[in-house]
């Protein structure tokens, strides 16, 4: 049994909701209660500032820069996220079978989007199903059944004929595919860097866009009107100049485009926030980036101009609600992180958790 004492941030504490901050909670049989247990013994006291387990809403467990990895590497990736306080992961595409992680009480919970679905020779080798538009509906249906309520498309990638980023799918194909996913109870998200792929996907009914660096003053109102979420992955967007440098000899137009998207990344995210577009934290870990960066991603959102409490919500209360998870509520699984200082005052404390509690056990 645990007694968690200090300042328990069960909600954003905006002043318009009662009970957003509690002084204590208990963990009994792995679950949260705000009622002091009668006759409790052998209680371990944990003190500090408490948040729900952090959410990395865009990462890849079971994947590295070359494709699927073995179970040992997947385990290390999941443990790295856990130790950073990320206890709920939305795996935004992986060719590896990581279902065995669900049986491990010491590893984060994962919501899977199945395997990426990309156009032939229009994505990173060994990552995706690479198909043509006539097969898109069938593959989306298969991944909707294989995943945990999400499907991941590659919406744009470098087109070798034009030498720049280009949309991968005709409108009719994505409309039919998204409708099929929704029929099967799955939401659809898509990798999109550039501008031109966004409006057709949103108009086709997509639920989320990953990266969304191509948002403009023309498409931002469309996202806001339709309630389409974005996961900006700013810690990944920081790599664009390096990527551009590596590809500019062969694809100078693409390299210039990537640099321009990078240069306005903060302005883009702030404009999306100001328009009321739902924003959630994701790191894109597992491809070329290390796991365990969710705290840095929250700090990037703040650097982009998002108020600290809303940036925290993008990684905690808001993200859990978006993904259908309960957070710090009576009877919920005790998945929480304890810090030495108030994360609302300085989000940088997220990178150094004092304690990590997963399924009611202190694991870090």
At 58, give phi and psi (nearest 5°). -150, 95
As a whole number of angstroms, the distance between CA 180 and CA 255 comes to: 35
3-state secondary structure of 51: strand
Contact assessment for residue 189 and residue 208, using Cβ atoms and an 8 Å cutoff: yes
pLDDT value for 169: 98
The kind and range of the H/E element at 9 are strand 2-9
Contact assessment for residue 50 and residue 13, using Cβ atoms and an 8 Å cutoff: no
- The sign one gets for the Cα dihedral 170, 189, 195, 66 is negative
Locate tokens 């595409």: which residue?
93
pLDDT value for 19: 57
As a whole number of angstroms, the distance between CA 117 and CA 229 comes to: 20
Alpha helices in the chain (DSSP H): 71-83, 136-146, 171-183, 198-203, 220-226, 234-237, 240-247, 252-263, 265-274, 294-303, 308-315, 317-322
Nearest to 111 by CA among 88, 140, 87: 88
pLDDT value for 42: 83
Contact assessment for residue 58 and residue 16, using Cβ atoms and an 8 Å cutoff: no
pLDDT value for 40: 74
Domains and CATH numbers, the chain: 2-51+325-363 (2.30.40.10), 54-323 (3.20.20.140)
Contact assessment for residue 251 and residue 158, using Cβ atoms and an 8 Å cutoff: yes
Work out the angle between the directed axes of helices 294-303 and 308-315 (0-180°, nearest 10).
150
As a whole number of angstroms, the distance between CA 155 and CA 255 comes to: 18
Give the burial class of 44: count Cβ atoms within 10 A of its Cβ; 0-12 exposed, 13-18 middle, 19 or more buried: exposed
3-state secondary structure of 239: coil
* Positions in the chain short of pLDDT 70: 14-19
- 175 DSSP assignment: H
User: Which pair of tokens denotes residue 261?
Assistant: 């998207």
Predicted TM-score (pTM) of this structure? 0.96
pLDDT value for 15: 54
pLDDT value for 18: 47
């Amino acid at each position: 049994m645990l007694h968690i004492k200090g300042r328990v941030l069960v909600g954003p504490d905006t002043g318009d909701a009662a009970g957003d901050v509690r002084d204590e909670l208990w963990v009994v049989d792995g679950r949260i209660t705000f009622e002091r247990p009668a006759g409790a013994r052998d209680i371990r006291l944990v003190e500090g500032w408490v948040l729900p387990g952090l959410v990395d809403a865009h990462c890849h467990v079971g994947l590295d820069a070359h494709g699927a990895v073995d179970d040992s590497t997947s385990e290390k990736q999941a443990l790295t996220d856990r130790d950073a306080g990320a206890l709920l992961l939305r795996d935004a595409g992986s060719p590896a079978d990581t279902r065995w992680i669900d049986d491990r009480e010491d590893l984060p919970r994962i919501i899977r989007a199945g395997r990426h679905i990309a156009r032939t020779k229009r994505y990173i080798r060994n990552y995706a199903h690479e198909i043509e538009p006539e097969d898109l509906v069938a593959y989306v249906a298969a991944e909707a059944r294989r995943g945990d309520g999400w499907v991941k498309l590659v919406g744009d990638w470098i087109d070798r004929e034009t030498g720049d980023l280009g949309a991968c799918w005709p409108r009719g194909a994505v409309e039919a595919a998204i409708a099929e996913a929704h029929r099967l109870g799955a939401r659809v998200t898509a990798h999109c860097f550039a501008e031109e792929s966004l409006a057709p996907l949103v108009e086709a009914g997509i639920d989320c866009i990953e990266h969304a660096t191509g948002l403009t003053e023309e498409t931002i109102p469309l996202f806001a009107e339709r309630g389409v979420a974005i996961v900006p992955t700013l810690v990944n967007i920081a790599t664009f100049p390096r990527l551009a440098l590596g590809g500019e000899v062969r694809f100078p137009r693409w390299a210039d485009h990537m640099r321009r998207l990078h240069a306005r990344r903060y302005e883009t995210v702030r404009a999306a926030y100001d328009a009321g577009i739902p924003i959630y934290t994701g790191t894109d870990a597992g491809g070329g980036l290390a796991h365990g960066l969710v705290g840095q991603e929250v700090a990037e959102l703040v650097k982009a101009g998002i108020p600290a409490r809303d940036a925290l919500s993008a990684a905690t209360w808001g993200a859990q609600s978006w993904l259908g998870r309960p957070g710090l509520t009576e009877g919920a699984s005790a998945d929480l992180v304890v810090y030495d200082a108030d994360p609302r005052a300085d989000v940088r404390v997220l990178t150094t958790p004092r304690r990590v509690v997963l399924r009611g056990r202190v694991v870090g």
